[in-house]
Amino acid sequence: MENKPGNHQAMADLLRVLSADAVQKAGSGHPGMPMGMAEIAYVLWKFYLKHNPKNPTWVNRDRFILSNGHGSMLHYALLHLCGYDLPIDELQQFRKLGSATPGHPEVGVTPGVETTTGPLGQGLANGVGMALAEKLLANEFNRPGFPIINHNTYVFFGDGCLMEGISHEVCSLAGVWGLEKLICFYDDNNISIDGEVSPWFNENIASRFKSYGWNVLGPIDGHDVFAIKNAIDAALSSKEKSFENGPTIIICKTIIGKGEPEREGTSKAHGEPLGVDGIQRMRQELSWDFLPFEVPEDLKKEWDCSDYGHALEGGWQNLLENYKKSYPALAALLETRLGKNVINPEELNDLVMEFCISLAKTPLTVATRKASQNFLNKLGPRFNGLLGGSADLSGSNLTMWDGSVPVRKSETGTIRGNYLNFGVREFGMAAICSGISLHKGFLPYCGTFLVFSDYMRNAIRLAALMDQKIVFVFTHDSIGLGEDGPTHQPVEQAASLRLIPNLHVWRPADSAEVAFSWKAALLQDGPTAILLSRQKLPSFRRNNSTLKNIAKGGYILIEEKQPDVILIGTGSEVKLAVSAGEELKSKYGIKSRIVSMPSTTIFDQQSRVYKEKVVPNHLPKMIIEAGVTDYWWKYKPDVVLGIDKFGESAPEEDVFEAFGISSRTIVDSVLCLLRNDRNNLRG
C-alpha cells in the first residue's frame, strides 16, 4: 500500500459519493454509515479481501458481511467498483422493484452478497457460523502443504448490532471456539437514529470483548487509511494474537455522514437522503467535480479487482489439482460436502426405508423426540456432514447421537467435533446455523423446546428468507410436557411457525413419520422445523403405499369403506383420533377415515386431486391438535378440537383431560356433528 494519501482519499470518497447519490435518487436509504466507513471499506477490499468478482462463489474466498445492513449502498458500491456483475444502472435503481440493489443486502439477489442482513446483530452471528464452518472444514480436510480451506471472515457492525442481545450470545461463543480468522470492524460513531447513544449505550466495548476472549485492537482513527492498514496487519499476524484471544475486533472511531459538513456526526446523517443542498455541500467539501454516478476512469481502473481475483483463484485451483492427486478420497468427499446435498439422496432413502421396516417388525412406543434420536443414531455414523447441537438441552432434545463428538478447542487452538453445545443461547444458535449453512460444507441442525422458538423467531425467519437448509428440532411440543406448566407449554408456536413462508413444519405422530420428516428436511431446499413430543406415542402399522404417502405431508392412515366422518390429527393427537375411531365404530357403527397430517406445509403443495382424495369436501371432518385453533379453519372443517388459552401445570394426563383433548371428546363431538348433519338433511 503506497503512501499516496490523495489517491487513497479519492478512492474512499468515490464510495461516499456513489452511496449518497444512490440514496438521493432512491428518495430513501441510509447514507451515514457508507460515508463514515468508506476508508475502512477501501483498505479492506482493495488490499486484503481475497475474492474473485468473476466467480463470487469461489470456495476459498474470504467472506465479507455487512451486519449493519442498512448501509447496503456501501456494499453495492464496492461490488460495482471491484468488477462484480453489478452495473452502474443497478446502483441507479437502488431500492426499486426488481433491482439487484434492495434496501438491505439479500443473498441470492446481488452477486457477492454472502448473507441477508438488516435485523441488527444477525449478520455478526452469521459471520460466527461461517468462521466456525471454515475452521472445522480446515481441520478436517487440510493436510501439510495443502491449505485447501484457508480464508477469513470479515464483519462490519455498529452500535446497533452490539446493543442487540444476540451479539453477546454469539461473540461469547466465538471466543470459546477460538475463531481466530473472524475479524470484525466496529463502526464506533456514537450515533443512532435517536441521537448520541451515550445516554443509553455507554459500556466499555474493549473490556466487554476482552472478557469474551477476543483480541481487541484500537480505538483507531477510522478515517486514517494507514491506521486501518496497521490494525488489519496486526489482526492477521499470528505474532500479535494468541489462541486464547481468538477472534479480533478493531474499534474504529468514525464520523457518521463524513463529507457533508452540516450533517456529519449527527443522527440526521443516518437514515435519510442528504437532499439537493446536502449533495452539493458534500461535493464541495470533497472537491468532487463529477456528475452523479460518474466514475472517473483512473479510479475505475484502480478499483477493479477482476485480474487479481482471477489470479488468486487460479493459484488455489492449482493447489486443489495437486491435492486431488495426493488425497483423492478426501478431495472427492470435500466436493460432495460442498455440493447441494451434503447427504446422498439415494443412501438417505435406503436408510429411511430400513428404519421403517425395522419398526414394522418391532413397533416402538416412544416419544417422538426419542424416535428422532434413534434415527440420528442411524444417520450420524453414515454421513459426516451433520453439524448439530442444542441450547443446553441435549438430554431433553435428544439431539446428540451415538458417536457424536462435542466441539472443543484444544490447547493448540484447533477445534474438532460435530456436536455443538450452544449453551442457553437460542437466538444466537439459530443465526449461527444460518452462517454454517451459507458457508457450505455442513448440514446444520439445532434444538430447544418448541416454546423457545419465540426466542429464535427472527433468525428462523431470515433462514427461510434466505432459503437455507437448516433443521430446527423442537421438542416438548404441547401441553403433554405436563408439570412445567404454561411457561413451557407451547399452544400457539406450531401455528405461528406454519405461517412463515419457505419454512417446512413437521409434527410427526410416530417413529416412521419422524424418519420421513428428517428425510424431507435433509433433501428439500429451505429450513425445516420438526416438532417432537416429550410423552411416549405408539407406532402405527402401514403398508408400503401408506408409508410412502407420509412424504406428501398428509395421508390416509386408516381407511374404512364409505366412511361417515374424517378425523384429522397431528403429532400426539393422532393416537387420540385412532382411539376415537375405534370407539365410534365398535359402539355406534360410525366409520371414520383417520388422516395424519404431519406437515401442512408439504400437504398444501400437493395436487388438488390428491388433497381432495385425502380430505374430500363432501364428508364432515374434525381436526384435532393440542394448540390454537385459528390456523386450521382454512381447511373448512366442521369442528376443530384445540386449545385457545395457555396451559396448566399438572401431570400430562390431567392437563389433557382438563382441556378436553381426549378420545372421549372426539367421540362426543362426532356424535353431535353427525346428529346435526342428519337433522339438516331431514329438514
Catalytic residues: 426
CB < 8 Å & 24+ apart, contacts of 603-606: 603/552, 603/553, 603/554, 604/553, 605/553, 606/552, 606/553, 606/554
Q: Copy the grid coordinates of residue 368.
A: 417422538
Q: List beta partners, residue 7.
A: none
Strands (E), 442-582: 443-449, 471-475, 504-506, 528-531, 536-537, 555-558, 565-569
Sign of the Cα torsion 216, 220, 223, 226 reads negative
CA-CA distance, 128 to 182, in Å (whole number)? 7
CA angle 262, 266, 268 (to 5 degrees): 80
Backbone dihedral angles phi then psi of residue 290, each to the nearest 5 degrees: -105, 160
Backbone dihedral angles phi then psi of residue 662, each to the nearest 5 degrees: -155, 165
Q: Copy the grid coordinates of residue 36.
A: 463514515
Backbone dihedral angles phi then psi of residue 411, each to the nearest 5 degrees: -65, -25
Other C-beta atoms lying within 10 Å of the C-beta of residue 28: 12
Backbone dihedral angles phi then psi of residue 667, each to the nearest 5 degrees: -60, -50
Tell me which H or E stretch contains 667.
helix 663-682
Strands (E), 574-666: 592-596, 621-624, 639-641
Q: Copy the grid coordinates of residue 265.
A: 456526526
CA-CA distance, 61 to 338, in Å (whole number)? 14
Cβ neighbors of 331 (< 8 A, separation 6 or more) are: 320, 323, 324
Residue 22 contacts residue 31 (beta carbons within 8 Å): no
DSSP secondary structure letter of residue 259: T
Residue 445 contacts residue 388 (beta carbons within 8 Å): yes
If you compute the radius of gyration of the chain from its CA atoms, what whole number of angstroms results?
Answer: 28
Nearest to 55 by CA among 82, 15, 75: 82
DSSP secondary structure letter of residue 239: G
Residue 488 contacts residue 650 (beta carbons within 8 Å): no
Backbone dihedral angles phi then psi of residue 232, each to the nearest 5 degrees: -65, -40
Cβ neighbors of 272 (< 8 A, separation 6 or more) are: 28, 29, 31
